[in-house]
Structure 1
């Protein structure tokens, strides 16, 4: 596994050792499907999310893996009580780093398929089967939901414009039409996550998507739904002025950082192919 920050290797190793000691074979001998959730201070939200996730998908058994990313609340305890395998990392590194660790737990535990969803309850668990089915049937290696072909409850014009802008940018750079680059509900063959380079601590959705496309994996979008968050607040676009909630500032920070990740990943992958 590639680590751009050497310290991450040690953090992951310690977390994996603690995980194995806590859960034993339940964490090291997983069923065919692993549902991976990265969570940061999602007390009150993560428990209901875990409880609503299906125990089987497309006839295959599933296990929920929650990576608690340096949480200072009861996220880890709540997720465990709800029935998840919880990897409690003491350092907050970002959603990308948490998902990367979750992918590794899934692969090394023997899962054949990985599903990702968020800890905030914005995605519909009933739509998971429609995402995984094309992967199991051999029609795709990676399937992502799309709010643009499905539905979304948010009326934020800035966010909607951002979704369209980044979809157009990634489509232009990769040559594959994508309508939604940031949707968190996804399904994939587990081996895909080990083949692509994942180094971004945040905004890994675009890094993973671009990496998958440029490695030649078959990518498919299906209509899906994103609901409004009902518990807690979004962690996206956090910055030194985040707590002031100045209109437009958080979206500006988020957009600038996301653009940097998109362009940086595309350039890295272009050089790799050359």
Structure 2
């Protein structure tokens, strides 16, 4: 990836959209084609067995491909590391399944670049899993964040650098967001009600996703308890 300084070759601010993807050939090309109208796009393909990587590249994305299946968290972490190494100042994460509306990137970019907001969080109207609802109640009561698990988020790069070294056994987006808020970062929330995917998520099956989210919730509760002692 070409290293960007100042503004990108297209004259846009240094904004990159990071899209982790695994077997998303049905949607990734359309997602990239729409997203690239607003920012540079990096797709990190988690060793898909279909044409995800090829279709993403054909649509104009820079594509990195894991040599083996590493899972969502490690794949996202690779995206963060690559974006920072290449000088991007604003990092936005989106899903490859078409649930997130790329047109909302104008709002995210406005908040990050023009309004100087360090942290922009997407908020879905409805949570998909019971574990998301349970975790949502706790995180909202503790931190005022309505949808900590939404994958549509925007960060200024200094937040990622400051909170680097993520625990890839839990949700990186959650860890990064909460660590930033604990350290005093301000944030804004944007409604991102989008299209519901028609099949099951690729990275996690339902039971595995619920267990992972509950484990993350347990770690966050324990951390909050310890910090109060």
The alignment's TM-score, normalised by the length of structure 1, stands at 0.72
1:221 equivalent to 2:198? Answer no
> Contact 1:97–1:199 at 8 Å: present in 2 too?
no
CA distance in 1, matches of 2:27, 2:169: 22
Structure 2 partner of 1:59? none
Structure 2 partner of 1:155? none
1:56-135 to 2 correspondence within 5 Å? Answer: 56=38, 62-135=39-112
Structure 2 partner of 1:36? 18
CA distance in 1, matches of 2:133, 2:159: 26
Alignment match of 1:52 (pick from 34, 45, 48): 34
1:211–1:202: structure 2 CA closer, same or farther, 3 Å change rule? same
Structure 2 partner of 1:142? 119
Structure 1 partner of 2:180? 212
CA distance in 2, matches of 1:113, 1:213: 17
> Contact 1:147–1:183 at 8 Å: present in 2 too?
yes
- Matched positions, count: 221
CA distance in 1, matches of 2:182, 2:221: 9
Q: Deviations over 1:128-168 (max 9, x none)?
A: 111222222345211111123xxx5xxxxx83654432211
Alignment match of 1:193 (pick from 154, 160, 165): 160
1:255 equivalent to 2:223? Answer no
Secondary structure of the 1:167 match is: helix
> Contact 1:107–1:191 at 8 Å: present in 2 too?
no
Root mean square deviation, CA, Å? 2.5
CA distance in 2, matches of 1:164, 1:255: 11
Considering only CA atoms, is the larger Rg found in Structure 1 or Structure 2?
A: 1
Secondary structure of the 2:160 match is: helix
Q: After the TM superposition, which parts of structure 1 deviate over 3 Å for at least 4 consecutive aligned residues? A: 160-164, 265-274
Shift of 1:201: 4.6
CA distance in 2, matches of 1:65, 1:123: 16
Shift of 1:47: 0.9
Shift of 1:214: 1.8
Alignment match of 1:181 (pick from 148, 168, 181): 148
1:34–1:129: structure 2 CA closer, same or farther, 3 Å change rule? same
1:137–1:273: structure 2 CA closer, same or farther, 3 Å change rule? farther
Q: Which runs of 5+ in 2 are unaligned?
A: 9-13
